[in-house]
C-alpha cells in the first residue's frame, strides 16, 4: 500500500461525511505488485469530490474485499474511512437482503423477493457498524449524507448516537407503492430507520409520495405537507423529517468533452465499420439485470426482422450487458436466457456479412462507451422499473451534433426530465416496435430538435447541481422550506422541468 494511505488517524473528525456501501476508490496493483488506490468512476463520486475537498470531508464505506481490515487513509483530497465486511456478511447483507430482498421488492416485484431472518439480522448488524463508524468521525454539528438502499437503518442509528448531526439520505432506486412495500416483514424498522434523516431524497416525485404513503399507512404518522413530525417513545418531537424529489444527473460537460475528442470520434467511426456500416445502429447499454427489460427489446427487434420491417444490414442492434451480481441465482438464469435469445435471433437472421445482434457481456472504459454512443443512431432504454437510468442522459449528452433518437421507458426516472424522448411502455411489444420504426425513420430536423431540447435540460441540471440542491435543502430550516418541499415532491413549481417548446437560444456545453 502506498505510504500516503497511512497518514490519518481514526481520531480525526470531519464536517461533511458521506456514507455509502462502497468507497469512492478502487485498489490497483502495478506490475511490481505494489498496491495503490485510484478514484472510482461514476457520477456520485464526481459530484461529491469537490464538496468533500472544500468542506473537510470524509467517506465511510466498504472497500470491496471481504475479511480485510484497513486503517483510514487519504486519497486525492478525500478522507477514506473503511468499514470491514466478512465474506458471510457479503453473502447475507449484500447479496442476500440488499439484492435478493430489497432490490426486487423496490422494483415492483419483477422477480419474487426472498425474506430470510438471517439476512435481516446481518443487514441490521452491518448498518449499525456503518453508523458507529460514521458517528466516530463526524465533527460536532457535521452534515452526514447516507446513500442508498443498503443503508436504510443508518439514519435512525446515527441520530440515536449523535443527535447534533444534520442527516440526509438519498435513495437511488425506486420506492414502491405501499401495497408492495407492505410485504416486507421488517417494514416498520425500515421506515423508522429512514425517518432518522432530516431530508430523504428520491429520484421521482412518485417515489417520495410512495414513501409518505407508507409512513402514513404503516406507521400511522400524521403527514403535514411533505413533512413528518418524528416523535420518540414518549411522544416528544425529536425532529422534522422531509421527503423530496431530487433527480440525479450526470457530468454532462465531461461527456461532451469526450464526444468532441477527435480520438473518440475516430473510434466511433471504427465501431461502425466493424459492424459492417449498417444504415442504422441501435444500442442498448445496461447492467445485466432483470429490471432493464433487455428481453423485451430483443423480442421487439426480432419481430421487426421477422415482419420484414427491418433487415439485417440495414439495422444492427448492439447490446452491451455489463456483468452484475453473478453469484446471485436470478442473475445467472437471466444471463443464460439472454444469451440463448441472442443466439437464436442471430441464427435465424444473420447474413454472411452482417450480424443482427452484437452482444457484448463486458464492462468498458467510459471513453469507449462515449464512442459507442456516438456510433449509434437509436438508444433503447426499455427498463421495466428504474430509479433514474443515467445511460439515457449520457447518450443525449454525447450527441454534441444533436443527431440520434432516444427511446425511453416511461418507467425510468429519466422520463420525468427527458420528455422529448420517444416514451414507451416496454411491456407493450407492439408499441415498442412502432417506436423503433419511428426512431429509425424520423426526419433529421425533428430528431435534432428533440435532441437539442434534451441536451439543454441535461447540461442545465447536471450532477453537480443535483448535489448542491440536495445539500442546500438539507441545510434549510424545515419551517422555511415547507412550501418548496411540497412543490418539489408533487412536481409543481419545479423550474427544472423540461420546456414544452424548443428554447430560442441553445448553448452547448
Digit-coded pLDDT (tens) for 382-428: 999 999 999 999 999 999 999 999 999 999 999 999 999 999 999 99
Residue with cell 457484448: 360
Q: Does residue 502 surpass a pLDDT of 70?
A: no
In the chain, % of residues over pLDDT 90: 78
Q: How far apart are CA 100 and CA 113, in angstroms?
A: 6
Rounded Cα–Cα distance for residues 148 and 21 (Å) = 8
411 touches 426 (CB < 8 A): yes
Residue 176 zone, left/alpha/beta (φ > 0; ψ -120 to 50; rest): beta
Select the more confidently predicted residue: 508 or 453: 453
Stated as kind and residue range, the H or E segment containing 137 is: helix 117-137
End-to-end CA distance of the chain: 39
The cell numbers describing 203, all together, are: 429520484
Cα(219)–Cα(182) distance, integer angstroms: 11
Quote the percentage of the chain above a pLDDT of 70.
91
**Beta-bridge partner residues of 75:** 78
Q: Locate cell 511490481: which residue?
A: 32
Helices (H), 260-365: 262-274, 294-307, 329-349
Q: Is 238 helix (H, G, I), strand (E, B) or coil?
A: strand
Q: What is the pLDDT of residues 251-292, one digit of tens each?
A: 999 999 999 999 999 999 999 999 999 999 999 999 999 999
Per-residue model confidence as pLDDT tens digits over 343-362 = 999 999 999 999 999 999 98
Q: Is the pLDDT of residue 486 over 90?
A: no
Reported as a pLDDT band with limits 50, 70 and 90, residue 31 is confident
Burial of 194 (0-12, 13-18, 19+ CB in 10 A): buried
* Dist. CA 267–CA 142, nearest whole Å: 46
Query: Are the C-beta atoms of 139 and 13 separated by less than 8 Å?
Result: yes
Rounded Cα–Cα distance for residues 282 and 278 (Å): 10
3-state secondary structure of 225: coil
Q: How far is CA 113 from CA 383, 413, 416, in A?
A: 18, 22, 27
Neighbouring residues of 238: CB distance < 8 A, sequence distance ≥ 6 = 159, 163, 230, 231, 232
pLDDT at 249 over 80: yes
pLDDT value at residue 496: 40
Dist. CA 124–CA 130, nearest whole Å = 10
Q: Provide mean pLDDT across the span 434-447.
A: 97
Q: Are 252 and 246 in contact (CB under 8 A)?
A: no
d(CA 255, CA 42): 12
Grid cell digits, residue 382? 426499455
Per-residue pLDDT at 470: 96
Measure the CA–CA gap between 498 and 418, rounded to whole angstroms: 7
> What pLDDT is attached to residue 480?
60
Q: How far is CA 300 from CA 33, 111, 285, 441, 500, in A?
A: 48, 21, 16, 16, 30
> Which three cell numbers, joined as nine digits, stand for 391?
445511460
* Res. 504: pLDDT tops 50: no
Instruction: Say what the pTM is.
Output: 0.90
* 277 Rama sector, left if φ>0, alpha if ψ -120 to 50, beta otherwise: left
**48 compared with 297, residue with greater pLDDT:** 297
- Taking 70 as the threshold, does the pLDDT of residue 341 lie above it? yes
pLDDT of 76 reads 84
Q: 393 phi and psi, to 5 degrees?
A: -70, -35
Closest by alpha carbon to 17, among 63, 65, 78?
78
Amino acid at each position: 500500500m502506498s505510504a500516503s494511505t497511512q497518514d490519518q488517524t481514526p481520531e480525526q473528525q470531519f464536517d461533511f461525511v458521506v456514507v455509502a456501501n462502497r468507497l469512492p476508490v478502487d485498489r490497483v496493483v502495478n506490475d511490481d505488485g505494489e498496491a495503490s488506490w485510484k478514484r472510482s468512476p461514476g457520477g456520485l463520486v464526481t459530484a461529491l469530490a469537490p464538496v468533500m475537498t472544500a468542506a473537510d470531508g470524509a467517506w465511510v464505506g466498504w472497500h470491496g474485499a471481504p475479511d480485510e481490515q484497513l486503517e483510514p487513509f487519504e486519497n486525492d483530497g478525500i478522507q477514506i474511512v473503511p468499514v470491514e465486511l466478512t465474506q458471510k456478511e457479503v453473502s447475507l447483507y449484500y447479496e442476500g437482503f440488499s439484492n435478493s430482498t430489497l432490490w426486487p421488492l423496490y422494483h415492483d416485484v419483477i422477480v419474487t423477493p426472498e425474506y430470510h431472518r438471517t439476512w435481516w439480522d446481518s443487514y441490521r448488524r452491518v448498518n449499525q457498524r456503518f453508523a458507529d463508524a460514521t458517528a466516530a468521525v463526524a465533527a460536532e454539528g457535521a452534515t452526514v449524507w447516507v446513500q442508498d438502499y443498503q443503508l436504510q437503518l443508518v439514519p435512525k442509528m446515527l441520530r440515536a448516537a449523535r443527535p447534533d448531526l444534520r442527516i440526509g439520505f438519498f435513495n437511488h432506486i425506486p420506492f414502491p407503492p405501499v401495497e408492495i412495500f407492505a410485504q416486507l416483514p421488517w417494514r416498520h424498522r425500515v421506515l423508522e430507520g429512514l425517518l432518522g434523516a432530516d431530508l430523504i431524497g428520491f429520484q421521482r416525485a412518485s417515489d417520495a409520495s410512495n414513501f409518505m404513503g407508507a409512513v402514513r399507512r404503516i406507521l400511522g404518522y400524521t403527514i403535514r405537507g411533505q413533512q413528518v413530525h418524528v416523535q420518540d417513545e414518549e411522544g416528544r418531537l425529536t425532529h422534522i423529517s422531509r421527503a423530496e424529489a431530487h433527480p440525479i444527473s450526470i457530468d454532462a460537460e465531461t461527456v461532451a468533452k469526450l464526444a468532441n475528442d477527435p480520438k473518440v470520434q475516430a473510434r466511433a467511426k471504427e465501431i461502425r465499420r466493424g459492424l459492417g456500416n449498417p444504415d442504422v445502429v441501435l444500442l442498448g447499454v445496461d447492467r445485466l439485470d432483470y429490471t432493464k427489460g433487455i428481453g423485451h427489446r430483443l423480442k421487439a427487434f426480432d419481430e421487426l426482422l421477422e415482419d420484414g420491417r427491418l433487415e439485417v444490414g440495414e439495422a444492427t442492434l448492439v447490446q452491451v450487458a455489463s456483468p452484475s451480481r453473478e453469484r446471485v441465482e436470478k442473475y445467472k438464469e437471466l444471463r443464460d436466457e439472454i444469451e440463448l435469445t441472442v443466439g437464436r435471433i442471430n441464427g435465424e437472421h444473420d447474413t454472411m456479412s452482417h450480424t443482427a445482434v452484437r452482444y457484448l457481456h463486458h464492462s468498458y472504459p467510459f471513453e469507449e462507451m462515449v464512442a459507442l454512443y456516438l456510433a449509434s443512431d437509436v438508444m433503447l432504454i426499455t427498463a421495466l422499473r428504474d430509479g433514474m437510468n443515467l445511460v439515457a442522459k449520457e447518450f443525449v449528452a454525447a450527441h454534441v451534433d444533436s443527431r440520434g433518437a432516444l427511446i425511453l421507458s416511461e418507467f425510468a426516472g429519466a422520463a420525468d426530465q427527458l420528455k422529448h424522448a420517444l416514451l414507451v411502455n416496454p411491456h407493450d411489444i407492439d408499441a415498442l416496435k412502432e417506436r423503433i420504426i419511428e426512431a429509425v425513420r424520423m426526419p433529421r430536423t425533428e430528431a435534432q430538435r428533440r435532441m437539442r431540447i434534451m441536451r439543454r435540460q441535461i447540461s442545465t441540471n447536471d450532477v453537480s447541481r443535483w448535489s448542491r440542491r440536495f445539500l442546500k435543502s438539507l441545510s434549510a430550516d424545515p419551517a422555511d422550506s415547507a412550501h418548496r418541499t411540497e412543490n418539489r415532491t408533487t412536481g409543481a413549481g419545479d423550474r427544472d422541468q423540461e420546456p414544452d417548446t424548443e428554447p430560442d437560444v441553445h448553448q452547448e456545453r
